[in-house]
């Protein structure tokens, strides 16, 4: 009898052939949706049990069954049984032969159809939903498409479109993805986690939805962030998709409009207190690591991320992308910008608009860079001026500063309190202007022109997402600095042609300081090194490695970050830097790779990466080997036994 996947439990129910022990553990993967499991189906078994689909990304073929032999002969195949790339012999064993058009299609043909269908979608959110459906139904095709068209598709699967998707999550919800754990589950979190259908998880991205991008508290509607983030781990760094866990915590929401929205799918309670959240997080972190020892935990979009990071960073393998990932990617851009500016490190002065967790995290990592360049910590810290909603952050401003701001509070202001960004810029005369404020357009033409008057190559980094919240756009930065700005943004912008005051017309290429340059490599390096914690040195190493990935052509164009089309190779370099730092800190457990050269390390890392372009071919080869090992005949692309005298065109398919 043929089996099916129970969509609710995630367990594969089937009746398997009696196979000679021991059955090989195949390297089959989720392709598409574990079609390999179907190839060993028969009506010969009589026992009954339920087996997980995957184990560490690998289906386990066992001499057991999940349904009684009396299961109906017309058991329904799963959606991906109908993949038009399935060869005939696979369609035969999936019992989908004749239920799809007869042609076995190539990936290129499938890709062409997907791109045409995508082009027919009228809005960005429609495109987001189309790609989400493709990811659920045909994971390899989705990732092949994304890897081949990363620049075009990343904005659709993550920022900026994911921002709108999160705002409308309860409205556009289609089917379960990821895991939701509620405050009402406290005391039973370990039991809830047992429901996750994949037996092995390498990495999880966790949010409580309290500060999604620059959009505020979206509650469980923030699930789009963990899903999108983990999709980038897979596309950019080859982390296996079946070893990822998107996790959203339903701890209530302070968003009254959401609580009153009849479609909102989270609890209707107000946000729990910080003390209650930490108690809940304690139970969660223990449950996750007991279930999956060695799991890497990435915290994402918490309104107050510092307490959890400081509480867990030395006890569990975890990091916060908003603080450490953002800091690392911006640090890499600053490293390259400082080189291109021609100004010595100790002569730089930086104004930060935005003194939240991300802003402080970025500033601290640049301080570390300045110290490594030969400055004392006090001298390095004195180069930074942070501005929040009340003006320049000073020790004597009269308000109670949040603990994370105290480090950068100015004490040399002599009682003067500067209230606006313009006042601070004109007073400090900075060489760097960093925006992490989510205030769109706040870097005005006047401020940009002032920056150009202070430095021949002003460093302008409007880092807020999405695009509408960017402190300035690329065109404004180039126009008002006469083409001299060293620019990086958080959101994508298009190249721009500009005629400068000398009459020279040039095409300028924007740098995008997107966290995707580092967090996939940080995650991959941490997973592969089996690090017991993510150290500051590992984060710094990721930035340093990224800064060294520019090609001569990219340097000639004045870029601060590599071309996104090279992201998988960039992630290899970043992962290698992270692994070396873990080894130097002696927090790695994968000790067998310590002696590898850089070239051998890179080759080893590549061998561990999920490669969607080769998964289906590998699957077909292993299916053939497995069928041969159990005495099943090999089949041609038309689904018929090789060497058979029967002609399917004359006699029809004997299924």
Could you tell me which residue, 560 or 22, shows the higher pLDDT?
560
CA 247 to each of CA 222, 250, 517: distance values in angstroms, whole numbers, following the listed order: 10, 10, 22
Instruction: Based on the residue annotation, tell me whether 229 is a catalytic residue of this protein.
Output: yes
**Percent of the chain with pLDDT strictly greater than 90:** 72
Question: Is 514 flagged in the annotation as binding?
Answer: yes
Q: Give the pLDDT confidence score for residue 247 in this predicted structure.
A: 99
Q: Give the pLDDT confidence score for residue 625 in this predicted structure.
A: 66
Instruction: Based on the residue annotation, tell me whether 183 is a catalytic residue of this protein.
Output: no
Q: Is 596 a residue whose pLDDT tops 80?
A: yes
SS3 461: strand
Q: Is 481 a residue whose pLDDT tops 90?
A: yes
The structural architecture, per CATH, of the domain 324-516 is 3-Layer(aba) Sandwich (3.40)
Q: Is 4 a residue whose pLDDT tops 50?
A: no
If you average pLDDT over residues 37-56, what whole number do you get? 32
- Rounded CA-CA distance 324/524 in Å is 15
The pLDDT tens digits of the residues spanning 581-595 come to 999 999 999 999 999
The pLDDT tens digits of the residues spanning 18-32 come to 333 333 333 333 333
Per-residue pLDDT band at 85 (split at 50, 70, 90): confident
Question: Is 645 flagged in the annotation as binding?
Answer: no
In what helix (H) or strand (E) does residue 191 lie, and over which residues does it extend? helix 189-193
- Rounded CA-CA distance 492/582 in Å is 32
SS3 399: coil
If you average pLDDT over residues 508-521, what whole number do you get? 94
Q: Give the pLDDT confidence score for residue 82 in this predicted structure.
A: 78
- Rounded CA-CA distance 587/582 in Å is 5
Q: Is 630 a residue whose pLDDT tops 80?
A: no
Q: Give the pLDDT confidence score for residue 633 in this predicted structure.
A: 54
| Domains 107-316 and 324-516 fall in the same CATH topology | yes
Q: Which alpha helices (H) appear in 406-533, and where do they start and end?
A: 421-428, 445-454, 474-480, 519-529
Q: Give the pLDDT confidence score for residue 631 in this predicted structure.
A: 61
Q: Give the pLDDT confidence score for residue 366 in this predicted structure.
A: 96
- Ranges 55-59, 476-480, 519-523: which has the least confidence: 55-59
Tokens of 545: 């490695």
Tokens of 76: 């329904």
The pLDDT tens digits of the residues spanning 279-303 come to 999 999 999 999 999 999 999 999 9
Tokens of 372: 């490594």
Q: Which of 52, 21, 83, 198 is closest to 619 using CA atoms?
A: 83
> 229, 271, 385, 635: which one is catalytic?
229
Q: Which alpha helices (H) appear in 62-183, and where do they start and end?
A: 88-94, 107-120, 124-137, 139-148, 150-157, 161-167, 169-172
Question: Is 388 flagged in the annotation as binding?
Answer: no
The pLDDT tens digits of the residues spanning 243-278 come to 999 999 999 999 999 999 999 999 999 999 999 999
Question: Is 469 flagged in the annotation as binding?
Answer: no
Per-residue pLDDT band at 375 (split at 50, 70, 90): very high
**Percent of the chain with pLDDT strictly greater than 70:** 82
If you average pLDDT over residues 167-183, what whole number do you get? 97
If you average pLDDT over residues 561-567, what whole number do you get? 95
> 38, 89, 97, 158: which one is catalytic?
158
Question: Is 465 flagged in the annotation as binding?
Answer: yes
Q: Is 71 a residue whose pLDDT tops 50?
A: no
Q: Give the pLDDT confidence score for residue 322 in this predicted structure.
A: 87
Q: What is the pTM of this model?
A: 0.81
Q: Are 147 and 235 in contact (CB under 8 A)?
A: yes
Q: Give the pLDDT confidence score for residue 30 in this predicted structure.
A: 37
CA dihedral defined by 18, 21, 25, 26, rounded to 10 degrees? -50
Could you tell me which residue, 49 or 550, shows the higher pLDDT?
550
Superfamily of 107-316 according to CATH? Malic enzyme, N-terminal domain (3.40.50.10380)
- Rounded CA-CA distance 88/102 in Å is 8
Q: Give the pLDDT confidence score for residue 10 in this predicted structure.
A: 34
Q: Which of 485, 150, 153 is closest to 333 using CA atoms?
A: 485
Question: Is 368 flagged in the annotation as binding?
Answer: no
The pLDDT tens digits of the residues spanning 632-654 come to 555 544 444 433 333 344 333 33
The pLDDT tens digits of the residues spanning 294-353 come to 999 999 999 989 899 999 999 999 999 988 998 899 999 999 999 999 999 999 999 999
If you average pLDDT over residues 454-483, what whole number do you get? 94
In what helix (H) or strand (E) does residue 435 lie, and over which residues does it extend? strand 432-435
Per-residue pLDDT band at 357 (split at 50, 70, 90): confident
β-pair partners for 488: 511
Q: What are the domain boundaries of the chain?
A: 1-104+614-655, 107-316, 324-516
- Rounded CA-CA distance 646/3 in Å is 28
Q: Give the pLDDT confidence score for residue 64 in this predicted structure.
A: 28
CA 11 to each of CA 81, 93, 274, 506: distance values in angstroms, whole numbers, following the listed order: 16, 19, 37, 58
Q: Are 128 and 161 in contact (CB under 8 A)?
A: yes
């Amino acid at each position: 009898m043929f089996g099916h996947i129970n969509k609710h439990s995630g367990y594969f129910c089937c009746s398997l052939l009696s196979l000679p022990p021991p059955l090989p553990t195949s390297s089959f993967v989720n392709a598409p949706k574990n079609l390999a499991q179907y190839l060993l189906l028969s009506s010969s078994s009589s026992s009954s049990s339920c087996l997980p689909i995957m184990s560490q990304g690998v289906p386990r073929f066992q001499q057991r069954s999940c349904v009684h032999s009396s299961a109906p002969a017309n058991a329904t195949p799963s959606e991906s049984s109908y993949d038009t790339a399935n060869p005939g012999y696979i369609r035969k064993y999936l019992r989908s032969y004749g239920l799809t058009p007869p042609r076995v299609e190539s990936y290129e043909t499938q890709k062409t159809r997907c791109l045409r269908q995508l082009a027919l979608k009228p809005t960005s959110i429609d495109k987001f939903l189309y790609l989400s459906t493709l990811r659920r139904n045909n994971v390899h095709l989705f990732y092949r498409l994304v890897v081949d068209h990363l620049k075009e598709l990343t904005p659709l699967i993550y920022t900026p479109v994911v921002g709108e998707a999160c705002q409308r999550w309860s409205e556009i919800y289609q089917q379960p993805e990821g895991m939701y754990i509620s405050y009402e589950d406290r005391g039973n979190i370990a039991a809830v986690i047992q429901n996750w259908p994949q037996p092995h998880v390498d990495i999880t991205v966790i949010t409580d939805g309290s500060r999604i991008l620059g959009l505020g508290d979206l509650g469980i509607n923030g699930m789009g962030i963990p899903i999108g983030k983990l999709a980038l781990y897979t596309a950019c760094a080859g982390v296996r998709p079946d070893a990822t866990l998107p996790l959203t915590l339903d701890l209530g929401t302070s968003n009254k409009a959401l609580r009153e929205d009849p479609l909102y799918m989270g609890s209707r309670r107000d946000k729990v207190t910080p003390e209650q959240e930490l108690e809940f997080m304690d139970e969660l972190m223990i449950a996750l690591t007991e279930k999956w020892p060695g799991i890497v935990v990435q915290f994402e979009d918490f309104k107050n991320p510092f307490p959890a990071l400081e509480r867990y960073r030395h006890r569990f393998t975890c990091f916060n992308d908003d603080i450490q990932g953002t800091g690392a990617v911006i640090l890499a851009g600053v490293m390259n910008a400082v080189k291109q500016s021609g100004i010595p490190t100790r002569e730089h002065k930086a104004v930060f608009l935005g003194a939240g967790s991300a802003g402080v995290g970025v500033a601290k990592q640049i301080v570390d860079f300045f110290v490594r360049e030969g400055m004392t910590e006090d001298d390095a810290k004195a180069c930074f001026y942070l501005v929040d909603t009340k003006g320049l952050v000073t020790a004597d401003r009269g308000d109670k500063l949040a603990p994370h701001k105290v480090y950068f509070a100015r004490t040399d202001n002599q009682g003067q309190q500067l209230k606006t960004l313009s006042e601070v810029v004109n007073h400090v005369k900075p060489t760097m202007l960093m925006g992490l404020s989510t205030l769109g357009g706040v870097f005005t033409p006047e401020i940009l022109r002032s920056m150009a008057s202070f430095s021949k190559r002003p460093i302008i980094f409007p880092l807020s997402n999405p695009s509408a919240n960017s402190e300035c756009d690329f065109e404004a930065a180039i126009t008002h600095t006469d083409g001299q700005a060293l620019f990086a943004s958080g959101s994508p912008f298009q190249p721009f042609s500009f005629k400068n005051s000398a009459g020279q017309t040039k095409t300028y290429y924007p740098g995008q300081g997107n966290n995707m340059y580092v967090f996939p490599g940080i995650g991959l390096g941490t997973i592969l090194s089996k690090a017991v914690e993510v150290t500051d040195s590992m984060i710094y190493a990721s930035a340093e490695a990224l800064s060294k990935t520019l090609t001569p052509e990219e340097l000639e164009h004045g870029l601060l970050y590599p071309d996104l089309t090279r992201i998988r190779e960039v992630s290899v370099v970043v992962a290698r830097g992270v692994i070396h730092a873990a080894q130097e800190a002696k927090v790695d457990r994968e000790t067998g790779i310590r002696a590898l050269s850089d070239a051998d390390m890179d080759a080893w890392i590549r061998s561990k990466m999920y490669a969607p372009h080769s998964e289906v071919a590998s699957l077909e080869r292993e299916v053939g080997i497995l069928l041969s090992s159990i005495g099943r005949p090999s089949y041609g692309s038309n689904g018929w036994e090789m060497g058979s005298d029967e002609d399917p065109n004359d006699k029809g398919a004997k299924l």
